[in-house]
């Protein structure tokens, strides 16, 4: 269970960058071997990583990934830590490069950090005016500006519906395509003003859903998660654990199905009745772990967090 010492340390070390969610539950779920090798795929402010490091002895190793260059400033000066400033979809490639064939545990705390949301220039938040950017990795060319200005109507409709659950996704997509030839959609304020007429319900909530959809698309968050999950079984030692924290139902469904069946589709939808996919993982959490009311009060971001844990057979 969540340990106050872990929380205090993690918050001190990650500062204002990000408050880690489900910290004690994630570390306990990983069943950490003090001399083991672990991977944190989403280092961020290092809240989970620093607490994990506290549970390792001098032989332990912690490999941390983050595709956002800002995270590098949080990496502790500790010889047990190796920071890899790349997308976790390349997990296996980088572990091979560093002669690490197998590990004892892998964790990921998906999505964006509070730091990314709170930096106006990054373009993630509806609260500020800035360029429509939303890239976690600023080396990649595709930005939110490119998505809203170049995608065709069908593609926009589908991403707003799937990734944002925007109720009038079709109207929104049609309006973007209609206005973009005459109106600049360069900045967040331009974008919000141009779409003012199609907002349904609370504008803050509406644009939060629209921005979530754009962010997931820009960073190919679903694609990266699929690629990560597919690499996990081959990288874990038998008995090694994987812990994934998700923040929306599409991600959680991918993790749930992959842990259960080794595929991304629910088994019921498999086209051949007799074909049963099998997983190399044993489920540790039958139901996802969620934040208790104290954590939800302390950290509202934890309200939508779901933690699933599995073990390599």
The values of phi and psi at residue 136, to 5°, are -75, -40
Residue 26 touches ligand SAM, criterion: CB under 6 A: no
- Whichever of 7 and 179 has its CB closer to ligand SAM, that residue is 7
Residue 302 touches ligand SAM, criterion: CB under 6 A: no
| 81-86: long-range contacts, CB 8 A cutoff, minimum separation 24 | 81/49, 81/53, 83/43
Selected range binding ligand SAM among 85-93, 163-171, 177-185, 192-200, rule: CB under 6 A: 85-93
How far apart are CB 154 and ligand SAM at their closest, in Å? Answer: 26
- Residues from 110 through 129 that contact ligand SAM (CB under 6 A): 111-113
Angle at alpha carbon of residue 158, lines to 156 and 161, rounded to 5°: 105
How far apart are CB 269 and ligand SAM at their closest, in Å? Answer: 26
Element (H, E) at 306: strand 306-312
> CB-based contacts of 220: which residues, under 8 Å, 6+ apart?
none
- The 87-106 site mask, x for binding ligand SAM (CB under 6 A), equals xxx-----------------
Element (H, E) at 259: helix 249-261
Tokens coding 77: 């000066």
How far apart are CB 165 and ligand SAM at their closest, in Å? Answer: 20
Residue 29 touches ligand SAM, criterion: CB under 6 A: no
- Residues from 193 through 252 that contact ligand SAM (CB under 6 A): 224
Burial class of residue 222 in the structure, from the number of CB atoms within 10 Å of its CB (0-12 exposed, 13-18 middle, 19+ buried): middle
Residue 11 touches ligand SAM, criterion: CB under 6 A: no
Residues at the interface with ligand SAM (CB under 6 A): 14, 18, 20, 42, 44-48, 65-68, 71, 87-89, 109, 111-113, 136, 224
């Amino acid at each position: 269970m969540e340990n106050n010492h872990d929380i205090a340390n993690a918050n001190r070390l990650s500062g204002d960058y990000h408050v880690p969610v489900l910290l004690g539950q994630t570390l306990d779920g990983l069943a950490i071997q003090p001399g083991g090798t672990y991977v944190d795929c989403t280092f961020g402010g290092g809240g989970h990583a620093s607490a994990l490091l506290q549970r390792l002895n001098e032989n332990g190793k912690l490999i941390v990934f983050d595709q956002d260059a800002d995270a590098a400033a949080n990496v502790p000066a500790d010889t047990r830590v190796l920071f890899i400033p790349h997308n976790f979809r390349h997990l296996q490639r980088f572990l091979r490069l560093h002669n690490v064939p197998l590990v004892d545990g892998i964790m990921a705390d998906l999505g964006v950090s509070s730091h990314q949301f709170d930096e106006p220039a990054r373009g993630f938040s509806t609260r500020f005016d800035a360029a429509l950017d939303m890239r976690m990795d600023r080396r990649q060319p595709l930005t939110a500006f490119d998505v809203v200005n170049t995608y065709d109507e069908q593609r926009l409709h589908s991403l707003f519906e799937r990734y944002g659950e925007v109720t009038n996704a079709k109207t929104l997509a049609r309006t973007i395509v209609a206005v973009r030839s005459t109106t600049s959609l360069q900045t967040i304020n331009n974008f919000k003003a141009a779409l003012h007429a199609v907002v349904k319900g609370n504008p803050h909530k509406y644009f939060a859903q629209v921005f979530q959809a754009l962010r997931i698309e820009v960073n190919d968050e679903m694609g990266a998660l699929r690629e990560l999950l597919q690499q996990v079984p081959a990288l874990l030692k038998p008995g090694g654990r994987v812990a994934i924290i998700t923040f929306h139902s599409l991600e959680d469904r991918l993790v749930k199905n992959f842990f259960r069946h080794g595929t991304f589709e629910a088994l019921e939808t498999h086209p051949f009745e007799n074909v049963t996919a099998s997983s190399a993982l044993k489920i540790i959490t039958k139901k996802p772990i969620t934040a208790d009311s104290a954590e939800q009060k302390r950290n509202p971001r934890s309200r939508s967090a779901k933690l699933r844990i599995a073990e390599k057979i």
